[in-house]
Amino acid sequence: MSRIIVWLAVFLGLTFKGQAAEVNVAVAANFTAPMQKIAQDFEQVTGHKAILSFGSTGNFYAQIRNGAPFQILLAADDETPIKIEKEGLGVAGSRFTYAIGKLVLWSKQPGLVDDKGEILRRGAFQRIAIANPKLAPYGAAAMETMSKLGVWSDLQPKFVQGENIAQTYQFIATENAQLGFVALSQVLAEGKISQGSAWIVPASLHTPIQQDAILLTKGSENPAAVALMRFLRSDRAHVLIRSYGYAL
């Protein structure tokens, strides 16, 4: 083990593989790719293993209230962790913003989406995918964007609604919808849009997608849970998070 890794493990107050533990983490679907990489790095550095579940923040909230064995929530918003803390399901003072998400209008088809989003006004498509705005903050941001642009009511008949942002991405990737609103992190590779065409939605068109993490009460005594919360705030994690298009 290199001197850097040893130093990082000591700094984070973590243990090595002989004392490894596991932590169950509920992760907002938009953060799938970066969290998979973070979990690999976390295990390499600490020996602790993160068991990841991906889905919509709204569904995770309901599951946590019903006793699901999650120990950390990485939400797609800041409101849900606040509610969890107020309801005594999260450790007071543990909540922090781990990423600020970016919304993108994306199509698998090159040239379909222009760089100003004018296609939304033209409506030259049959279906547009959005995540359920009642469950997924990225869906709520998409709804807010279309409302501000004055196209919400006109486009409603063309909506294909995903339960979460991962399902929404699949609708577009399989071309069941010609375009749709997803997280920038889902279509970014090496700092560029990996395929198709896209419009990165200006932040002024929707409420900031502030994504907060919270240590749940079920994880308060778990050294792996405490360690992962610290790891998410490390420079090593921050570099990776930024590489997927998130702000901090």
Give pLDDT tens digits for 50-105. Answer: 999 999 999 999 999 999 999 999 999 999 999 999 999 999 999 999 999 999 99
Query: What is the domain-level CATH number for residue 234?
Result: 3.40.190.10
Structure confidence at residue 49 (pLDDT): 97
The range of the structural domain enclosing residue 145 comes to 103-200
Residue spans of the chain under pLDDT 50: 1-7, 9-11, 13-17
What's this model's pTM, rounded to 2 decimal places?
Answer: 0.83
Structure confidence at residue 151 (pLDDT): 97
Same structural domain, 181 and 152 = yes
Same structural domain, 93 and 109 = no
Number of compact structural domains in the chain: 2
SS (H, E, C) 168-223: HHHHHHCCCCCEEEEEHHHHEECCEECCCEEEECCHHHCCCEEEEEEEEHHHCCCH
CA distance readout (Å), 48 to 40, 155, 164, 187, 224 = 10, 47, 28, 29, 6
Q: Is residue 248 part of a domain?
A: no
Structure confidence at residue 193 (pLDDT): 87
Same structural domain, 42 and 113 = no
The mean predicted confidence, pLDDT, of the chain is 92
Structure confidence at residue 3 (pLDDT): 43
Neighbours of 187 (CB within 10 A): 22
Instruction: Give the whole-angstrom CA distance, residue 226 versus residue 204.
Output: 35
Amino acid at 191: G
